[in-house]
Structure 1
Amino acid sequence: MSTKDDIYSQPLDTITGFTFDEHVVNVFPDMIQRSVPGYSTIIAMTGVLAERYVQPNSRCYDLGSSLGASTLAMRRQLHSRPCKIIAVDNSVAMQNRCREILAQDNDGNASPVDVELVDSDIRDITIANASVVVLNFTLQFIANDTREALLKRIFDGMLDGGILILSEKILFEDPHLQALNTDLHHSFKRANGYSEMEVSQKRTALENVLIPETIASHQHRLKAVGFNNVDVWFQCFNFASLVAIK
């Protein structure tokens, strides 16, 4: 069961790089809801977009699935569609809790859509027969110089007409807009009960771990690997979600 995020509520002598460990798993639903503006909308619409673009007997991939929020959104929206969801994450703690959540969902959900959990780095798996691929707040955590290769493998493994949903924290090319949206994001977190110390310590923990890019950079890379139709469908402050259609 999720508890309130208090990881950075006390002063820390040493702030280590952010990791998806057992402590984060225990507070993750609270953490992400209070930290990412528009998160609930992005997750809900991931399911809606999956329902629109899923193809019969194809696969839907949730890459960096964490506790399975996107997986569950797709599964519940797809109902009895003949497809399979592959949920991939390399955090053992996340995957163990995700299995528990899916088991609970199985007890109360009549959806027959099969879900396979894969313990792996998303850069090491084969994408095949995919009509929907989801990267919700995942690409930002992998090395910049490996991102294009991953997206190319995703594109190559997708069916024509398939969709990629890419949600990320973003940068702004204009320094004023960057400062404004950073301040607005911090205000959002304070409005959700985080203290100045929590905001500051979390920001330090994420430095050199979460590496954001501009929307233009994402669009350029997606088009470079082969996607022709790329656009932003959602943005709130310095968080955005794009769709790319093959």
Structure 2
Amino acid sequence: MSQESDRLFAQPLAQVPDFVFNEDVVRVFPDMIKRSVPGYPTIVENIGVLAARFAQPHSLLYDLGCSLGAVTQALRRHVQAEDCRVLAVDNSAAMVARCREYLHAQDSMFQELLPAEVIEADILGLELQPASLVAMNFTLQFIQPERRLELLTRIRQSLLPGGALILSEKLRFEDDEEQELLNELHIAFKRANGYSELEIAQKRNAIENVMKPDSLEQHGKRLRAAGFRKVVPWFQCLNFVSLIALP
């Protein structure tokens, strides 16, 4: 499927609206995420590899906040456990529609993939079924901070013994000097990927009221409060991290 370059913030805007996962974003999302999140392709592919370690036969795998289904596709490529299925969930109708198209295209290229269902729902109101693997790839940061512990607690309660949560997030840093350095390096990453100063500034204004990152220390503390016994960082590139949380 053809993918458009991200030019959403290339022209000056009189007023920058809050970032929304609408049809305009969906149209350029693969390019946007690749040029904005250091290590994104590595994270996605290896979530599939990690999931193969924890996925159990005859169990459910969740991709919560699935966007266009990149993680779901990785799960389907790598997980070989018998009779597993993937449930991908997103609250954006535009994302869900395009995700279904991408999974249909994947079906035409591969044989014997895990069955996958994509549903439009708010994960805060979703009744979670028992699962051996839950992936949340850059999703928690868009949940209201006061609801995050509640959601993680429900995920922990839904996990089967021996299962895992894989959580990827943008970080903020408690040390001001570290925060400034990593923020500058992230901006340099965006510049190196072709974003202009105007695009960087306007995208930052659009997303700052929508996405609220936590520190690594906050993530660990919250995950343990939710009932996870072990939190293992397995990947970090600049201010982006992915964790394995074990029940």
Q: Give yes or no for the alignment of 1:226 onto 2:219.
A: no
Judge conservation of contact 1:182–1:238 (CA < 8 Å) in 2.
Answer: yes
Judge conservation of contact 1:80–1:112 (CA < 8 Å) in 2.
Answer: no
User: Aligned runs of 1:208-227 on 2, under 5 Å?
Assistant: 208-227=209-228
Task: Provide the residue aligned with 1:188 in structure 2.
Answer: 189
Deviation at residue 81 of structure 1 after TM alignment = 3.1
Q: What RMSD over aligned residues (CA atoms) do the two structures have, in Å?
A: 0.9
Q: Give yes or no for the alignment of 1:11 onto 2:21.
A: no
Aligned-partner Cα distance in 2 for 1:202–1:111: 40
Q: Give yes or no for the alignment of 1:76 onto 2:81.
A: no
Aligned-partner Cα distance in 1 for 2:7–2:93: 21
* Aligned partner of residue 213 in structure 1, secondary structure: coil
Deviation at residue 77 of structure 1 after TM alignment = 0.6
* Aligned partner of residue 170 in structure 2, secondary structure: strand
Structure 1 residues 80 and 227: alpha-carbon distance in aligned structure 2, compared to 1, 3 A threshold? closer
Provide the aligned length of Structure 1 versus Structure 2.
Answer: 246
Aligned-partner Cα distance in 1 for 2:140–2:91: 13
Aligned-partner Cα distance in 2 for 1:112–1:144: 36
Aligned-partner Cα distance in 2 for 1:241–1:3: 27
Unmatched tracts of structure 1, length 5 or more: none
Aligned-partner Cα distance in 1 for 2:235–2:112: 28
* Aligned partner of residue 24 in structure 2, secondary structure: helix
Range with bigger deviation, 105-114 or 38-47? 105-114
* Aligned partner of residue 171 in structure 1, secondary structure: coil
Once the two structures are superposed, what CA deviation does each residue of 1:18-75 show, in whole Å capped at 9, x if it has no partner?
0000000000000000000010111011000111110011110000000000000000
Judge conservation of contact 1:8–1:198 (CA < 8 Å) in 2.
Answer: yes
Identity of aligned pairs, percent?
A: 50
Deviation at residue 111 of structure 1 after TM alignment = 2.5
* Aligned partner of residue 63 in structure 2, secondary structure: strand
Task: Provide the residue aligned with 1:125 in structure 2.
Answer: 126
Calculate the TM-score normalised by the size of structure 2: 0.98
Aligned-partner Cα distance in 1 for 2:51–2:202: 36
Aligned-partner Cα distance in 2 for 1:79–1:162: 15
Aligned-partner Cα distance in 2 for 1:161–1:223: 16
Judge conservation of contact 1:76–1:111 (CA < 8 Å) in 2.
Answer: no
User: Aligned runs of 1:146-161 on 2, under 5 Å?
Assistant: 146-161=147-162
Structure 1 residues 195 and 20: alpha-carbon distance in aligned structure 2, compared to 1, 3 A threshold? same
Deviation at residue 6 of structure 1 after TM alignment = 0.2
Aligned-partner Cα distance in 2 for 1:112–1:192: 33
User: Aligned runs of 1:130-141 on 2, under 5 Å?
Assistant: 130-141=131-142
Calculate the TM-score normalised by the size of structure 1: 0.98
Aligned-partner Cα distance in 1 for 2:54–2:25: 33
Task: Provide the residue aligned with 2:58 in structure 1.
Answer: 57
Deviation at residue 79 of structure 1 after TM alignment = 4.1
Range with bigger deviation, 78-87 or 137-146? 78-87
Task: Provide the residue aligned with 1:94 in structure 2.
Answer: 95
Judge conservation of contact 1:87–1:117 (CA < 8 Å) in 2.
Answer: yes
Judge conservation of contact 1:80–1:113 (CA < 8 Å) in 2.
Answer: no
Task: Provide the residue aligned with 1:145 in structure 2.
Answer: 146
Aligned-partner Cα distance in 1 for 2:113–2:238: 37
* Aligned partner of residue 188 in structure 1, secondary structure: helix
Task: Provide the residue aligned with 1:66 in structure 2.
Answer: 67
* Aligned partner of residue 171 in structure 2, secondary structure: strand
Aligned-partner Cα distance in 1 for 2:140–2:5: 26
